[in-house]
Structure 1
Amino acid sequence: MDIRAIVCDVDGTLLTSKQVVDERTVSSIKKARSKGILFGICTGRDADSVRNHIKSWGIEGCIDFVVSSGGSEIDDYILDIYQENHTLSPELIKEIMNHYKDMDCNFTICHEGILYAPKDDDYIKDMAEGDGIEYRVVDFDTFLTRPYRKLMIICDPSYMPQIVERSKSFKNKDYKASALVTTSFLYEYMDPHVSKSNGLKEALALHDISISQCMAFGDEDNDIDMLEEAGIGVVMENGSIHAKDAADYVTKDKDSNGIGVFIEKFI
């Protein structure tokens, strides 16, 4: 198969438990790029957050493009192109938040590499610490004066089934939004046009590459569409059951050079 690009999800996939990219994986990426294969990231994190963490992750100089915010941002480092598509209106975000106001959860919006939340609690603290991102508590009535790419609901993993059940009763005749569980503690609302595969297709098209010429690595259910449409879809051993069902291959886990081993074998 003619593979012209490799793309990786970040959390649970590219990053180890120590929040870095393993040296063997970095070496494999560099070797692939030396053969003319592009390397990209496809993540739920926003573009600014990715730029802010590239050095600490240990992959400075290895990235050609980033598909971020679940597919609504494209940041091409080669062509110096940035695109933002398919945002949610402030009115819709407020309505979604109101739908969950009586529940044991918090909300956050990532903007310019910072997590913004309407209240301070362990949910936002733990998320910010886990991702290595600054968070700020702000008045959302003042903050929500412009569209944003997505709204995230944070809760305890054991509480997630109740969040999902409540989501079934959210309706708005004037707006459309899609929602899904992206990690055990995150439920995300986005424009229905937003997906990792759609964002990846747009990013690859800038280089005249089709998604069938891409090797994609992921671990969670929000990677499924990307894994299914990529020419080669690879899931980590630590990945979800549904992601494994969707992938062509399963590689070693995030702490066992899963990406590096697979690239060495197939590229």
Structure 2
Amino acid sequence: MIKYIFVDLDGTFLDSNKQVSKDCVQFIKDLKKQYDVHFGIASGRALTSLLPLVQKQELDEIIDVIVANNGAEILDWESKKIINLPFVQKEEIQIILNTFQNWKGLTICFHNKNKLFASRTTERILGIQRFNNEEYLSNPLKNNSYLSTPRVMLILDKPVDEEYVKKIRTVSFEGLTSCRSENDVYEFMNKETSKANGIKQYVTQRDSSLDEVMVFGDSDNDIEMLKECKLGIAMKNARPMIQNVSDDITYKTNDEEGVMDYLLHHIDLFERVIEG
């Protein structure tokens, strides 16, 4: 039986307007009450941007855990305890900076203790700063006061330039892994950090395993959890590469409440709570 459901947010649980319907929230609330199931978020977003969203969309009523920063941070919602998986260390950040600082068409940026470091100041970077409620903007090529970070991001000026992305993919660093998390974002993380490992960390502490986990996703940074968890469900709106590694595909897109619709069709996956 499935005991845990984890959903990616952007392109999966959220619609194109970054909203979740009240019907969907109520459905998950009822599902948790009637069946022996826990509900979590597995997102590439930083906790600083996730927490306001959770409150605004009233997801605090349904979530048990947040796996943030592609697995680098795991927040147990009830205890508010945060567990960290390995970060990208300062020396590794500097190697990435040295490698990409002269590449045209991208900005290198990363979060560090509620501050955003970025190699260029662009509207996209300022938007990330506002989105994450960070204190100030600083160029890491001139200011090396940063320490470790969950991930180093390359923000692309032209997100649809697939040849440029292919060129980035040829670059690798010892001890790090990489993925494309959004159309215009390519990022590097510690090789032990992923959404799948973040989920595994959470469920194993509860004497469970990935064999009891169902996940929904749509992007490259969801591939590992789609492959490693018992049931990996790709969204109808996901790219073919993502759908090809999944166990199944939703019947509807994220703009059509695809997650809720799929769960309604497969309610037999869960064990009903016996009251009394």
Give the TM-score of the pair, scaled to structure 1.
Answer: 0.89
Residue 29 of structure 1 corresponds to which residue in structure 2? 28
Deviation at 1:181, TM superposition (A): 1.4
Task: Specify the code of the residue in structure 2 equivalent to 1:85.
Answer: L
Residue 107 of structure 2 corresponds to which residue in structure 1? 106
Query: For residues 128 and 147 of structure 1, what CA distance do their matches in structure 2 show?
Result: 18
Residue 142 of structure 1 corresponds to which residue in structure 2? 143
CA contact (8 A) 1:87 1:191 kept: yes
Deviation at 1:76, TM superposition (A): 0.7
Match of 1:44, SS?
A: coil
1:49 and 1:60, CA in 2 relative to 1: closer, same or farther beyond 3 A? same
Residue 170 of structure 2 corresponds to which residue in structure 1? 168
Match of 1:60, SS?
A: helix
Query: For residues 88 and 254 of structure 2, what CA distance do their matches in structure 1 show?
Result: 33
Equivalent residues in 2 for 1:69-88, closer than 5 Å: 69-88=69-88
Deviation at 1:117, TM superposition (A): 2.2
Query: For residues 32 and 143 of structure 1, what CA distance do their matches in structure 2 show?
Result: 48
Residue 236 of structure 1 corresponds to which residue in structure 2? 235
Query: For residues 91 and 123 of structure 1, what CA distance do their matches in structure 2 show?
Result: 26
1:247 and 1:219, CA in 2 relative to 1: closer, same or farther beyond 3 A? same
Query: For residues 169 and 100 of structure 2, what CA distance do their matches in structure 1 show?
Result: 8
Deviation at 1:189, TM superposition (A): 0.6
Task: Specify the code of the residue in structure 2 equivalent to 1:158.
Answer: V
Deviation at 1:195, TM superposition (A): 1.4
Deviation at 1:161, TM superposition (A): 3.0
Query: For residues 172 and 42 of structure 2, what CA distance do their matches in structure 1 show?
Result: 28
CA RMSD, 1 decimal: 2.1
Residue 201 of structure 1 corresponds to which residue in structure 2? 200
For residues 188-244 of structure 1, the C-alpha deviation after alignment (integer angstroms, 9 at most, x for no partner) is 011111111111111111222211111100001211111122222111111121111
1:167 and 1:238, CA in 2 relative to 1: closer, same or farther beyond 3 A? closer
Query: For residues 145 and 230 of structure 1, what CA distance do their matches in structure 2 show?
Result: 35
* Unmatched 5+ stretches in structure 2: 268-276
Residue 125 of structure 2 corresponds to which residue in structure 1? 124
CA contact (8 A) 1:221 1:240 kept: no
Give aligned-pair identity as a percent: 25
Deviation at 1:167, TM superposition (A): 4.9
Task: Specify the code of the residue in structure 1 equivalent to 2:159.
Answer: P
Query: For residues 128 and 13 of structure 1, what CA distance do their matches in structure 2 show?
Result: 23
Task: Specify the code of the residue in structure 2 equivalent to 1:249.
Answer: D
Query: For residues 112 and 249 of structure 1, what CA distance do their matches in structure 2 show?
Result: 38
1:59 equivalent to 2:73? Answer: no
Residue 185 of structure 1 corresponds to which residue in structure 2? 184
Residue 212 of structure 1 corresponds to which residue in structure 2? 211
Deviation at 1:96, TM superposition (A): 0.6
1:10 and 1:142, CA in 2 relative to 1: closer, same or farther beyond 3 A? same
Deviation at 1:73, TM superposition (A): 1.2
Out of 107-116 and 209-218, give the one that drifted further.
107-116
Query: For residues 116 and 23 of structure 2, what CA distance do their matches in structure 1 show?
Result: 31
For residues 98-125 of structure 1, the C-alpha deviation after alignment (integer angstroms, 9 at most, x for no partner) is 2112221112213456644232113324
1:115 and 1:62, CA in 2 relative to 1: closer, same or farther beyond 3 A? farther
Deviation at 1:264, TM superposition (A): 1.8
Query: For residues 37 and 186 of structure 1, what CA distance do their matches in structure 2 show?
Result: 33
Query: For residues 115 and 145 of structure 1, what CA distance do their matches in structure 2 show?
Result: 10
Residue 270 of structure 2 corresponds to which residue in structure 1? none
CA contact (8 A) 2:48 2:132 kept: no
